[in-house]
DNA sequence: GCATTTTGTTATATGTCATAACAAAAATGG
DNA sequence: CCATTTTTGTTATGACATATAACAAAATGC
């Protein structure tokens, strides 16, 4: 008997949350990352593994701690990621002669090729997903987002 | 002997990833949500529970399926969230007389107060976090992000 | 009236993320 | 030079998010 007034409209039930920039950011990001994951999956990559592989390809010899810091993840969590890249044959762990604790991460030939292929697929994915935005708008978006993170 | 060339520079190791809009989105969003979670935690709320509570406060009588759809989550995962809100005494589950399967979610007086309090804290948090952006820039950011999600 | 769909729910698996602890190696500091 | 501290990679663990499958009860559709 008490369910007569109910909600005014079904669509836009989250309208009250749209006043928060963070909510819109989270929703949009989740849409983008889900699509990116879908693109990477057939290549045996996930977002995290692709990110790590990209850093290693761009900066061969990088240490695991540096890699984790660059990607904003914990050292401990980077181990499994690097394990997967190594087992796939895309990177190699090499002991550094100057510091026998540290490990230098280097891409293999196959790893370099896979990164290039995945990069192109991801760029195409973003072209598709951001079709509603002009190139200038995408730059604006990145510029605005970059002002947030400290 | 093979670790001499190494990486060119330590800072900006993720520079190669910045060409992807999604990467910058993910980094910025993670910074914002982490801070929001920190703000909500002392009030016994998480981002998900606050979002659900807000929808219920704005649309009393909403069904669980509608709530889950509004927040972009699975029905099954919404159960635990609603359980927590109910156990905290912030919402109540009421059987609908028109559809005995469905459940109408309604906020309690305490729940309404808690939502208002958390909303203000979150607005303050965003004011702090987005201090580098003008009000116009924040609107632009939301406008650009809204063009992405389909 | 019977098959199908919807709703809330449970169980489960996977991925993400943070923290604590540890051994080996290096750096530091008398 | 030697003892203490720090760093590096690593393992283990727990909290949380998220996706899927299955199910009973209720509603809906021919």
The yes-or-no verdict on residue A10 having pLDDT over 60 is: no
pLDDT at position A150 is: 63
Per-residue pLDDT band at B11 (split at 50, 70, 90): low
Which one has a higher pLDDT value, A5 or B69?
B69
Q: Are B94 and B84 in contact (CB under 8 A)?
A: no
Q: Which CATH architecture has domain A44-118?
A: Orthogonal Bundle (1.10)
Which nucleotide minimizes the distance between its C1' and the CA of A77?
A: C17
Q: Strand B103-107 relative to strand B91-95: parallel, antiparallel, unpaired? A: antiparallel
Residues of chain A in contact with residue B17, where contact means CB-CB under 8 angstroms, are 51, 54-55
Question: What is the helix, strand, coil percentage profile of chain A, to 5?
Answer: 65, 5, 30
Condensed to tens digits (0 to 9), the pLDDT of residues A94-150 reads 988 888 899 999 999 999 999 999 999 999 999 999 999 998 999 999 999 998 866
pLDDT at position B52 is: 96
pLDDT at position A11 is: 57
* In chain A, % of residues over pLDDT 70: 91
Cβ B94–A2 below 8 Å, yes or no?
yes
Check if residue A101 sits with its Cβ under 7 angstroms from strand D: yes
The yes-or-no verdict on residue B10 having pLDDT over 80 is: no
Mean pLDDT of B24-30: 94
Cβ A126–B31 below 8 Å, yes or no?
no
Q: Are A82 and A71 in contact (CB under 8 A)?
A: no
Measured between CA atoms, how close is A101 to chain B, in angstroms? 14
pLDDT at position B122 is: 94
Residue A92 β-bridge partners: A106
Cβ B22–A14 below 8 Å, yes or no?
no
Residue B5 half-sphere exposure toward CB, CA atoms < 13 A: 6
Per-residue pLDDT band at B98 (split at 50, 70, 90): confident
Q: How far is CA B47 from the centre of its chain?
A: 4
Footprint on protein of nucleic strand C, Cβ below 7 A: A 46-48, 73-74, 76-77, 99-101; B 30, 34, 63-65, 75-79, 82-83, 93, 99, 101-103
Q: Encode B25-36: b = buried (16+ Cβ within 10 Å), e = exposed.
A: bbbbbebbbebb
Per-residue pLDDT band at B150 (split at 50, 70, 90): low
Comparing alpha-carbon positions, the chain A residue that sits nearest to B36 is A22
Mean pLDDT of B66-91: 95
The yes-or-no verdict on residue B8 having pLDDT over 50 is: no
- Identity of the residue in B6, B104, B126 whose CB atom sits nearest the CB atom of A3: B104
Fold of B20-146: Arc Repressor Mutant, subunit A (1.10.10)
- The gap between A78 CA and D12 C1' (Å) is 15
Q: How far apart are CA A39 and CA A150, in angstroms?
A: 30
Chain B interface mutation, best of A16, A138, A148, A150, highest count of B Cβ atoms under 10 Å:
A148
Condensed to tens digits (0 to 9), the pLDDT of residues B46-62 reads 999 999 999 999 999 99
Which one has a higher pLDDT value, B72 or B149?
B72
Q: Are B119 and B54 in contact (CB under 8 A)?
A: yes
Cβ A133–B148 below 8 Å, yes or no?
yes
User: Which has the closest alpha carbon to A104: A84, A82, A76?
Assistant: A82
Which one has a higher pLDDT value, A70 or B11?
A70
Comparing alpha-carbon positions, the chain A residue that sits nearest to B139 is A21
Task: Identify the residues numbered 9 to 28 in chain A whose C-beta atom is closer than 7 Å to any atom of strand D.
Answer: none
Q: Which regions of chain A does DSSP assign to beta strands (E)?
A: 91-95, 103-107
- Identity of the residue in B1, B25, B58 whose CB atom sits nearest the CB atom of A145: B25
Q: Are A53 and A98 in contact (CB under 8 A)?
A: no
Q: How far apart are CA A68 and CA A84, in angstroms?
A: 15
Across chain B, mean pLDDT equals: 89
Can you say whether residue B96 is alpha, beta or left, with left for phi > 0 and alpha for psi between -120 and 50 degrees? beta
Check if residue A63 sits with its Cβ under 7 angstroms from strand D: yes
Cβ B149–A28 below 8 Å, yes or no?
yes
Mean pLDDT of B92-112: 92
Cβ A24–B145 below 8 Å, yes or no?
yes
Comparing alpha-carbon positions, the chain A residue that sits nearest to B97 is A1
């Amino acid at each position: 008997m008490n369910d007569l007034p109910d909600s005014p409209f079904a669509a836009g039930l989250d309208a009250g949350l749209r006043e928060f920039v963070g909510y819109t950011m989270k929703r949009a990001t989740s849409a983008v990352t889900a699509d990116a994951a879908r693109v990477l999956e057939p290549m045996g990559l996930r977002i995290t593994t692709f990110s790590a592989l990209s850093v290693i390809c761009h900066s061969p010899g990088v240490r695991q701690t540096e890699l984790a810091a660059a990607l904003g993840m914990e050292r401990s969590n980077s181990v499994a990621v690097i394990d997967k890249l190594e087992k796939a044959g895309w990177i190699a762990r090499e002991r550094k002669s100057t510091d026998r604790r540290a490990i230098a991460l280097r891409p293999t030939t196959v790893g370099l090729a896979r990164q290039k292929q995945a990069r192109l697929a991801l760029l195409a994915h973003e072209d598709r997903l951001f079709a509603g935005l002009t190139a200038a708008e995408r730059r604006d978006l990145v510029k605005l987002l970059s002002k947030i993170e400290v």
